[in-house]
Amino acid sequence: MHQMSPDMQACIDECLRCYQTCLGMASNHCLPAGGRHVEPEHLRLMLACAEMCRTSAHFMLLGTSHHRHTCRECADVCEDCARSCEQVGDMQHCVEQCRRCAESCRTMAA
């Protein structure tokens, strides 16, 4: 196994938490809430964010330098998801987790 920096491990942890948060909120909060929570653009963005976070964590765990590319995109998607969740409202946990993940991924993309 390759040697992993503390920053990379922290980013993997943030990505996996964001994956869990976005997927869980989409499934267990947005779907039951209905209304603005299930508008196609918002729901697709949440699912895309979850998948991008999972993919970024996977690339870092593989130890490939290509993680910089996935982390850069992950930071962008997380920021978009945070904004969307903020606009929809009643999703502060998702907003905060997406922003933490975006910040961590920006560090890994540098």
**Each residue of 2-47: pLDDT tens digit?**
578 999 999 999 999 999 999 999 999 999 999 999 999 999 999 9
**Distance between CA atoms of 91 and 110, rounded to whole angstroms?**
29
**CATH number assigned to the domain with residue range 6-109, chosen from the 4 options 3.30.420.40, 1.20.1270.360, 1.20.5.50, 3.40.50.150:** 1.20.1270.360
The amino acid occupying position 97 is Q
Question: For the chain, how are helix, strand and coil distributed in percent, rounded to 5?
Answer: 85, 0, 15
Residue 7: the pLDDT is: 94
